[in-house]
Amino acid sequence: MIVGFDYGSANCSVGIWENEQVKLLPLSVDSNYLPSTLYAMDRELIAEAVYAGLPDKLKAEYSHLRSSQLMRAKQIRHELDLLTDEQVVFVGQSAIEAYLEMPEEGFYVRSPKSFLGATGLRPEQVALFEDIVTLMMMHVKQLLDQQLIAKGLPCATHAMIGRPVNFQGIGGEQSNQQAEAILTLAAKRAGFSDVGFLFEPLAAGMDFESTLVDAANVLVVDVGGGTTDCSLVKMGPDLMVAGQRDKDCLGHSGQRIGGNDLDIALAMQGFMPSFGSGSKMLDGKPMPSNLFWNAVAVNDISAQRDFYQLASKKLIEVLIKESQTPHMINRLLILQQNQMSFQLVRQAELAKIALTQAPQHQTYLDFIEDDFSVEVSAKQFEQAITPSLDKVSQLMQQAMTCVDIDGKRFNSPDIVYITGGTARSPAIYNQIANVYPDAKVVVGDHFGSVTAGLTRWAQQYFKVT
């Protein structure tokens, strides 16, 4: 069975081709989307869970590669007094719930896709991300196959996976190759026999193309959870049946700017002042800003590692004694000691969503201290994300710096097609719409368009290769 698989920074989704149309299959209760999160009582237990889910033919090789992790997993189960069959690793919504219940005790990762192209990863870190992605894909494939079997269909064997134009801008093509290699290995270990990749903005554009009656040059702007990707694509009903679309893809751009970055920006500007950011010390000097940034930079491995080190705890304790507002810095200490950065940024994400409908939002942070809340406004959100919005505009313009077959440059697209969950924000929509005011602006399915396009393209790709 051929499927489209959007392994997204915020959510995962899968689609099949049924009755000549795309059908997304549910991956959560009452939802077609699975949150891209994982929680383990200990990180070594992740390898154990992967091993348990592997087909027998792959277990020997994997056991050799992860022998030390598997040995430590046995020790950890004994130390934590865990039963052999007790669930210790959780994916999706159950991972979020487990983390909120035990934030300081386990290992939690949100949006692992954001890290796959990171530069400077050590071999053991690459291995960890291979296991995280494998376990998440195993979970998705199990849910997928159960539904396919119930429909009397064969299990999924071929997957067209979406990928950003650039996983991580500073790493260039080497980062892209590293991320694709991780995704490919994970998909194969999860049980897919064949895997293909397609730029996410192209996938979103292919879904939109099915609605066109005339040819058009379409600038697809996909603002996702981890990246923003733009593609200028020549589209039309006569082009949909082509087996290869390389010549129709006129320009691409992409960078790691997405919903996660906007959440972090809002947490920094909207929440961190209540934790002491911008406050003064007794001698009148400002608080060190880097400490507060590390507290919310949940998509930066080194920043989070620094924040949770003992040295940061000791520094915060010193700052409490030397601060003009020690009660605020004490909140930062609680955040650090209980490893609540993800919880805090999650509240920023919920505030961002709420601000799409209201000018203000009251965010309750009583997991830090009783009756503690912070009000944020839509204007404050716009100010916080202005640097990111400027980068989105630059990416749109970068994708347009291409020439057509006659050697002429494009001044403006015919249509700007906006997709991606983050683009729901009015502030982001207005920024995108104003870059090319003469173009028609179309808003697509914020969450399902990439999966739908991947599913459409998969039907042609795997039949001709």
Residues 395 and 350 in one domain: no
Residues 335 and 220 in one domain: no
Confirm whether 198 is domain-assigned.
no
Residues 26 and 120 in one domain: yes
Confirm whether 102 is domain-assigned.
yes
Q: What is the pLDDT of residue 334?
A: 96
Residues 170 and 283 in one domain: no
- As for how many domains the chain has, the answer is 3
Instruction: Report the distance separating Cα 43 and Cα 131, nearest Å.
Output: 10
Q: What is the pLDDT of residue 426?
A: 81
Q: How far is CA 315 from the centre of its chain?
A: 32
Q: What is the pLDDT of residue 229?
A: 86
Of 384, 412, 435, the position where a domain reaches its end is 384
Write the CATH number for 36.
3.30.420
Residues 186 and 246 in one domain: no
Domain membership of residue 311 as a residue range: 260-384
Q: How many CB atoms neighbour CB 418 within 10 A?
A: 22
Nearest alpha-carbon partner for 463 in 180, 148, 158: 158
Q: What is the pLDDT of residue 407?
A: 64
Tokens of 154: 């064969």
Instruction: Report the distance separating Cα 263 and Cα 363, nearest Å.
Output: 13
Residues 186 and 144 in one domain: yes
Q: What is the pLDDT of residue 465?
A: 47
What's the pTM value of the predicted model, to 2 decimals? Answer: 0.79
Residues 132 and 273 in one domain: no
Residues 114 and 164 in one domain: yes
Residues 14 and 151 in one domain: yes
Tokens of 223: 């603002």
Confirm whether 111 is domain-assigned.
yes
Q: For residue range 9-60, list pLDDT tens digits in order.
A: 889 999 999 988 999 999 998 899 999 999 999 999 999 999 999 999 999 9
Q: What is the CA radius of gyration of the chain?
A: 23
Enumerate residue ranges in the chain where pLDDT < 50.
Answer: 464-465
